[in-house]
Amino acid sequence: MRLGVLDVGSNTIHLLVVDAHPGARPLPAHSHKVELRLAQLLDDSGAVSPEGVERLVSVIAGAVIAAEDKGCEEVLPFATSAVREAPNADEVLDRVKSETGVDLQVLSGADEAKLTFLAARRWFGWSAGKLLLLDIGGGSLEIAYGIDEDPYAAVSLPLGAGRLTAGWLPGDPADAADVKALRRHVRAQIARSVGEFSRFGTPDHVVATSKTFKQLARIAGAAGSAAGPYVQRDLSRKDLEEWVPQLASMTAAQRAALPGVSDGRAGQLLAGALVAEGAMDLFGVDQLEICPWALREGLILRRLDHMG
C-alpha cells in the first residue's frame, strides 16, 4: 500500500510517501518538503504566532493535495516539539483540523526517541547489539539506548539546533561569549541524563540520525547523498572538535558554502555542532555511524507492525 507520513517539525514540514507492506522494507516514492521554520514563528511565550498558524495551515493543505496526487491510501500526520510545547497547541491543532481535515498527532519527546530508535534498530539489525541513538532536531535532542526494539531508556531534551540558535546565538558570525555560554548550557543539560544511560553499560554501536548529524558528517568527509543510503557514513569526535571552532568563526553564508550544508540549515549548524560535540564527549563516544532512517520511518514501521 502507499502510505504518507506528514512530519510537522520545528524546521520543516515534510511529506514522505512510501510503498509499504508488512515484513518488507518501506520504499520511498516521493518527498514533498517545505522549510517553515516553525521554531522561529513563536512569540515570547512560545506560542505559535498568528502568522505561524496561517503558514502552517497553508503548508499542510498543500501537503494533503500532494499526498492525494501521489495516491496515498493513508497519511500519518504528526507534530514534534514546536507544536508540543506551544501554550496554544490545542488552538493550533483545532485550526489545522477544521481547515485541512488533518488530525495532527502530537508526539511526546519520549515517543519521538522510541520511534527513532525503532527505525535505527530495524536499519542496523540485531547484530548491532546494544545501540545508543542520538538525534538532533530543530527543537529537541533525543537520546535512546537498548538492545531490543523498545529502548531501555529514552529522553528528549530541549536542545534542538533551531531553538538554541534563536535563543542563544543572535550574531552572525556568533559572538565568542555567546558560543561559550551555549556550550556550557548544552553540556549541563546533557550531563543530567548521562547517569540514566551509563548504568546499562557501554553500547556496542552508537548511531545518529537527523539532518544536523548528516551535515556534520558530510563536512568532516563522509560521502554525499548522491552515493545512496547504503554507503557507511561515520563522524568522529576528533573531526567534530576540529570543526566546531571553524563553524563558530563563520557566517551563515560561509557555512552554506560547505559541502552538504543547505542555506536553510546553515544558520543553526553551529548550535547543532555544539550539541553533537557535547553529547559525544559526555557519553564517551569516539565515533558514531549515521543512520539513514529516523522518526518518519519509525512511524511507518510501527503502523505496518499493527497491520501485520
Structural domains of the chain ordered from first start: 2-106 (3.30.420.40), 109-295 (3.30.420.150)
Tens-place pLDDT, residues 198-214: 999 999 999 999 999 99
pLDDT of the residue at 157: 97
H or E, element range at 247: helix 237-249
pLDDT of residue 230: 94
Give pLDDT, residue 193.
96
Cis before residue 50, ω within 30 degrees of 0? no
Distances (CA, A) of 292 to 36, 161, 210, 211: 23, 19, 8, 10
Statement: residue 42 has pLDDT above 90: no
Band (82; pLDDT cuts 50, 70, 90): confident
Alpha-carbon span 22 to 298, nearest angstrom: 13
Is the distance from CB of 118 to CB of 298 less than 8 angstroms? Answer: yes
DSSP 127: G
DSSP 200: T
> Does residue 308 carry a pLDDT above 90?
no
Question: In 115-212, at which residue ranges do the beta strands (DSSP E only) sit?
Answer: 131-136, 141-146, 153-157, 205-209
Q: What are phi and psi of 22, to 5 degrees?
A: -55, 135
Q: What is the pLDDT of residues 117-135, one digit of tens each?
A: 999 999 999 999 999 999 9
Please tell me the pTM assigned to this model.
0.95
Q: Cell triple for residue 205?
A: 554501536
Calculate the alpha carbon distances from 82 to 5, 102, 142, 218 in Å.
18, 17, 14, 27
Question: Each residue of 59-73: pLDDT tens digit?
Answer: 999 999 999 999 999
Angstrom distance (rounded) from CA 206 to CA 204: 7
Three-state DSSP state, 40: helix
